[in-house]
Amino acid sequence: MASTAPDASQDQESIKNSSIKFRSVKTLAESPELTSIPSSYTFTTNPDDELVTDPDDDDPIPVIDYSLLFIGTPDQRAKTIRDIGRACEQWGFFMLINHCVPKSLMEKLVDQVFAFFNLKEEEKQEYAGSKNVTDPIRYGTSFNPSMDKVKFWRDFIKIIVHPEFHSPDKPPGFRDTCAEYCRKTRKLGRELLKGISESLGLEADYIDRTMNLDHGLQMIAANLYSPCPQPELAMGMPPHSDHGLLNLLIQNGVCGLQVLHNNRWINVTSTPNCFVVLVSDHLEIVSNGKYKSVVHRAVVSNKATRISVATVVAPSMDTVVEPASELIDNETNPAAYVGMRHKDYMELQRTNHLYGKSVLNQVRI
């Protein structure tokens, strides 16, 4: 018999009798007898969703040269800000090159994340914790296993790194690398948000100030997508948009990210030394819908292990996020979203199925 997925009840039994709280995808993927995925991981895609392509030559993925915001001529800077605005409006994301984060630091972070996932399961599961979104460190699998109808082929660690810095102490060196990476990406995110504010016709520090970014939430979500014996049946992460203002994503050279653009799934490459910058829900709200948070997903493969690290730059937990009053006109452009405290928004995300823009739709007027 070819199909020999580990018996779930036996598995539950061994979980009950140890310090292991759940079975990670990595454990499952490494079980020698695995030739097919358990049915709990079988993801049925909507055939309407299934137009998957590489970007068209005449509509390429936008690439922004970050350095031009600082060392460019005034014309180059103005054009870069316009390009950022157009990318946020038309794609909801862009690739960022010539940024201020050293390539060696990006690679070191990915190596450390790999090393974390390679710790013994017992060691990682010290961070399995409760299900609270404000837990500073959460190691887990799928998205929200108690809510997910189908499990996703993904393990993760989520770490809150600002306003207070947290980090696992293992593996050695993780904490220092993570701290440095977070400092650098935080600066990058805030600078980008200045350009984005300007692109909306607002003062450069508008978003920084009104979203209280001095006390802003910053979170790292590192994802591990282990090789999957039936990649066409499983999903690493389902279609969703992110909470927060921006998500700065890096990858380990293995592709898997797809974004929804004009009703087609577009493959995004994993380019070294490049950030994928995703417009997230709170930026859509602040811009009153001018900029669209991008719906994206992660597919898996049967060949390579994929790692991605998302850095979410978000308002402070207590900020009530609402459309910028400067962008609203009651007659011609009324507010399209109700205000909601960031913390409540995150809670809403936790208690909902992760699918498309289901959370954002709840604050839409």
Can you read off the two tokens belonging to residue 228? 């999957």
CB 103 within 8 A of CB 217: no
**What x/- string results for residues 222 through 251 when contact with Ni ion is judged by CB under 5 A?**
--------------------x---------
User: How many other CB atoms are there within 10 angstroms of residue 244's CB atom?
Assistant: 28
In a 3-state reduction of DSSP, which class is residue 56? coil
Binding mask 73-112 for ligand OGA (x = CB under 6 A): ----------------------------------------
For residue 63, give the H/E element and its range.
strand 63-65
Least separation, in Å, of the C-beta of 202 and ligand OGA?
Answer: 26
Q: How many angstroms separate the Cα of 57 from the Cα of each of 53, 54, 290?
A: 12, 9, 25
The nearer residue to Ni ion, 258 or 288, going by C-beta atoms, is 258
Instruction: Kindly state the smallest distance separating residue 255's Cβ from ligand OGA, in Å.
Output: 9
Return the number of the residue (280 or 288) whose C-beta is nearest ligand OGA. 280
Say whether residue 298 binds ligand OGA (CB under 6 A).
yes
Under the binding rule (CB under 6 A), the answer on residue 308 touching ligand OGA is: yes
CA distance 206 to 25: 42
E-strand stretches of the chain: 52-53, 63-65, 93-97, 137-141, 155-162, 217-225, 237-240, 246-251, 257-261, 264-267, 275-279, 296-298, 306-314, 320-321, 340-341
CA 180, CA 90: separation in Å to the nearest integer? 33
Q: How far is the CB of 221 from Ni ion (least distance, A)?
A: 8
Q: Which of 115, 221, 336, 338 binds ligand OGA (CB under 6 A)?
A: 221
Q: Residue 322 binds which entry of Ni ion, ligand OGA, none, with Cβ cut-offs from 5 to 8 Å by kind? A: none
**Residue from 24, 125, 223, 288 binding ligand OGA (CB under 6 A):** 223
| Structure-token pair, residue 2 | 């070819």
Q: Is 267 helix (H, G, I), strand (E, B) or coil?
A: strand
Beta carbon nearer to Ni ion, 23 or 350: 350
Instruction: Find, among 298, 283, 193, the residue nearest to 251 by Cα.
Output: 298
Nearer to Ni ion, 171 or 238 (CB): 238
Report d(CA 191, CA 182) in Å as an integer.
14
**Is residue 313 at the binding interface for ligand OGA, with CB under 6 A as the rule?**
no
CB of 5 to ligand OGA, least distance (A): 24
Q: How many positions of this chain bind Ni ion (CB under 5 A)? A: 1
Q: How far is the CB of 297 from Ni ion (least distance, A)?
A: 8
Phi then psi for 95, rounded to 5 degrees?
-90, 140
Tokens at 261, concatenated: 């653009």
Query: Least distance to ligand OGA from the beta carbon of 265, Å?
Result: 13
Contact 95, 66 (CB under 8 A): no
Q: Could you tell me the smallest distance in angstroms from the CB atom of residue 257 to ligand OGA?
A: 4
For the purposes of burial, counting CB atoms within 10 Å of the CB of 67, is it exposed (0-12), middle (13-18) or buried (19 or more)? Answer: middle
- Of all residues in this chain, which one has the CB nearest to ligand OGA in the complex? 308
Q: Is position 237 an interface residue for ligand OGA (rule: CB under 6 A)? A: yes
Chain residues binding Ni ion by CB under 5 A are 242
Which residues sit at the interface with ligand OGA, rule CB under 6 A? 221, 223, 237, 242, 256-257, 296, 298, 308, 310
